[in-house]
Amino acid sequence: MSKTGIVYHQDYLKHDPGRGYPERPERLRAIVDALKRVGYWSSPNVRVIKPTPATRADLELAHDPEYIALIERLSKFEKPLDADTPVHANTFELALLAAGGAIATGRAVTTGEVLNAFALVRPPGHHAARASGGGFCYFNNIAVAVKSMGLKTLILDIDCHAGNGTMDIFWRDDSVLYISLHQWPCYPGVGWWNEVGAGAGEGFTVNLPLYPNTGDDVYMCFLKSFVPPLMEQFKPELIGISAGFDAHRSDPLTQMNISSHTYYQVGRLVCKSKVFAVLEGGYNLDALPRAILAFLVGIRDGQLAAEERPTITQEEIKEKSTQRLEEIKKFLSKYWDL
C-alpha cells in the first residue's frame, strides 16, 4: 500500500521568535510527540523524509531577489520584519529549510514516491508575498513548492487567516486556483469574496470569508459548495493544502468553532487526488496534533476515531452564513458553474 510522506527536520525547532510569540517551537514538538505516541511516526504506511534547504533559484520562483536579499540582510543584523515577525541570525537559513521542506513534500507526491505528504515545517509561509513578509512568515513555502513543481495546482488554504501572500503571488496566474476559507474580519484584513485575481488570473482566486463562531456544519457547507465543483471544472494535476489549524475552537488567536471533524473531512474531500500539505498556523498545543491526525486519517480515507463532537453553528450565524453563501455563489457564477 502506498505511503504518506511526513517531511520533517529537527532544525525546524531552532526557529525561536522569542518569549510570548504564539508561533513557537513547542508547536512542532507537540505534533511530533503526538504522532510518535500513537505509533503514526513508525507506521508501515508512513515514510519520514528529511528535507534539504531551498536554493535561491527556488525562492526566486515566488519572490523578488531584492526581498530575498532583505531577509538575508535582516538576519545578519537581527532586525525584525515587523512586530509579529522577528528576525534572528539563523532565520534566513531556517526559512530556506522550511521552503525546502515544502518542495520535498511536493516532489515526493509528484514523483509517486508516496501517495500524499505533509510538511511539518516552521516558520510558516502563507502571509509572505512576492516582495514582503509578516504575520510570522518570511518566505511562502507552499508558493515556492507549487512554482517549483510547475503543474496546474489547486491551493486550498484552510488556515483561519487569509493567505494574503499566496494570493499576491498567484494574483494574475490562471495555472493556480487559490481557494481560501478564513474568519472575517480577521488579520491580515484581506480576503473578501470580491477579491478574485486580475488579468489572466481573474476568477482564479476564490475567497470564502466566514463569520466568527462558524461551526463544522457551516464550514463543511461552504467547503462542499465550492471545492468539489471547482476541482471538477479546473482539473488540477496537484493539490496543495495550506494546512493551518487555527480555526479550531480552542485556538487562542481566533474566534471560530471548528473541531477535528472538519479537518478529517477536508482530508477526505481531496483524498483521491495527488495531495501535499504544508503546515501554516495552529496555536493550541492540545488541539493542533489532534487536528493534524484527523486530517492525516482523512487524506488516506480512513476511519476517524473521534474524540470531539462535531460543532453546530448558532442559528443566527447560520442564517447569515447561508445568505452570504448564496451571494458568493451568485457573484462567482460569472467564472464558475456553481
Helix (H) or strand (E) holding 279: strand 275-279
Piece of the chain touching Zn ion by CB under 5 A; list 1-9, 15-23, 153-161, 212-220: 153-161
Residue with the shortest CB distance to Zn ion: 281
Burial label for 79, CB within 10 Å (0-12, 13-18, 19+), is: exposed
Any idea which residues carry the catalytic annotation? 127
Q: Where are the beta strands (DSSP E) in 152-249?
A: 153-157, 176-183, 205-210, 238-243
d(CA 142, CA 86): 21
d(CA 311, CA 109): 33
Count of other CB atoms within 10 angstroms of residue 325: 18
Among 157, 159, 173, 308, binds Zn ion (CB under 5 A): 159
Piece of the chain touching Zn ion by CB under 5 A; list 76-84, 146-154, 197-205, 274-282: 274-282
Among 53, 106, 281, 298, binds Zn ion (CB under 5 A): 281
Burial label for 19, CB within 10 Å (0-12, 13-18, 19+), is: exposed
d(CA 146, CA 15): 23
Among 24, 161, 249, 324, binds Zn ion (CB under 5 A): 161
Question: What's the closest the beta carbon of residue 55 comes to Zn ion, in angstroms?
Answer: 27
Which positions from 84 to 123 touch Zn ion by CB under 5 A, shown as an x/- string? ----------------------------------------
Among 246, 267, 283, 321, binds Zn ion (CB under 5 A): 246
Question: Under the criterion CB under 5 A, does residue 244 sit at the interface with Zn ion?
Answer: yes
Q: Are 151 and 237 in contact (CB under 8 A)?
A: yes
Piece of the chain touching Zn ion by CB under 5 A; list 84-92, 143-151, 277-285, 313-321: 277-285
Question: Under the criterion CB under 5 A, does residue 124 sit at the interface with Zn ion?
Answer: no
The footprint of Zn ion on this chain (CB under 5 A) covers a number of residues equal to 6
Judged by the rule CB under 5 A, the positions of this chain that interact with Zn ion are 159-161, 244, 246, 281
